[in-house]
Amino acid sequence: MGSKSRQASLPIQGVAVLPQGLEDIGSQELQALGAKQITPRRRAASFASDMACFYRLHLQCRLPFRLLREMARFHCDGRDSLYDGVQQALDWERWLHPSMSFRVDVTGTAPGLNHSHFTALQVKNALIDRQRDLWGQRSSIDLNEPDLCLHVHLHRGEAILSLDGSGGSLHRRGYRAAVGVAPLKENLAAGLIRLTGWDGSTPLTDPCCGSGTLLIEATAIALQRFPALHRRFLLESWADFEADLWDAEQRRAHKRQQPTNKAPRILGYEQDAKIAQQARDNISAAGLEEVIEIVQADFRDAPAPEEDHGVVVCNPPYGVRLGDSSELQELYRELGAVLKKDYGGWDLWLLSGNRELTAALRLKAKRRIPVSNGGLDCRWLHYELNRPSADPIPQEN
Q: How far is CA 328 from the centre of its chain?
A: 28
> What minimum distance in Å lies between the beta carbon of 284 and ligand SAM?
15
Compare residues 113 and 216 and give the one whose CB is closer to ligand SAM.
216
Compare residues 126 and 209 and give the one whose CB is closer to ligand SAM.
209
> What minimum distance in Å lies between the beta carbon of 182 and ligand SAM?
4
> What minimum distance in Å lies between the beta carbon of 45 and ligand SAM?
24
Q: Which residues bind ligand SAM (CB under 6 A)?
A: 180-184, 208, 210-211, 213-214, 269-272, 275, 298-300, 315-317, 331
Compare residues 27 and 315 and give the one whose CB is closer to ligand SAM.
315
> What minimum distance in Å lies between the beta carbon of 279 and ligand SAM?
7
Compare residues 81 and 296 and give the one whose CB is closer to ligand SAM.
296
Compare residues 13 and 219 and give the one whose CB is closer to ligand SAM.
219
Compare residues 160 and 209 and give the one whose CB is closer to ligand SAM.
209
When CB distances to ligand SAM are compared, the closest residue is: 210
Residue 356 burial (10 A CB sphere; 0-12, 13-18, 19+): exposed
Compare residues 54 and 175 and give the one whose CB is closer to ligand SAM.
175
Q: How far apart are CA 112 and CA 78, in angstroms?
A: 6
Q: How far apart are CA 209 and CA 297, in angstroms?
A: 11
> What minimum distance in Å lies between the beta carbon of 346 and ligand SAM?
17
Q: How far apart are CA 306 and CA 304, in angstroms?
A: 7
> What minimum distance in Å lies between the beta carbon of 315 and ligand SAM?
4
Compare residues 181 and 229 and give the one whose CB is closer to ligand SAM.
181
Torsion angle defined by CA atoms of residues 351, 355, 357 and 360, in that order, rounded to the nearest 10 degrees: 110
> What minimum distance in Å lies between the beta carbon of 331 and ligand SAM?
6
> What minimum distance in Å lies between the beta carbon of 98 and ligand SAM?
42
Compare residues 93 and 330 and give the one whose CB is closer to ligand SAM.
330
Q: How far apart are CA 373 and CA 213, in angstroms?
A: 13
Q: How far apart are CA 140 and CA 6, in angstroms?
A: 31
> What minimum distance in Å lies between the beta carbon of 298 and ligand SAM?
4
Q: Are 110 and 154 in contact (CB under 8 A)?
A: yes
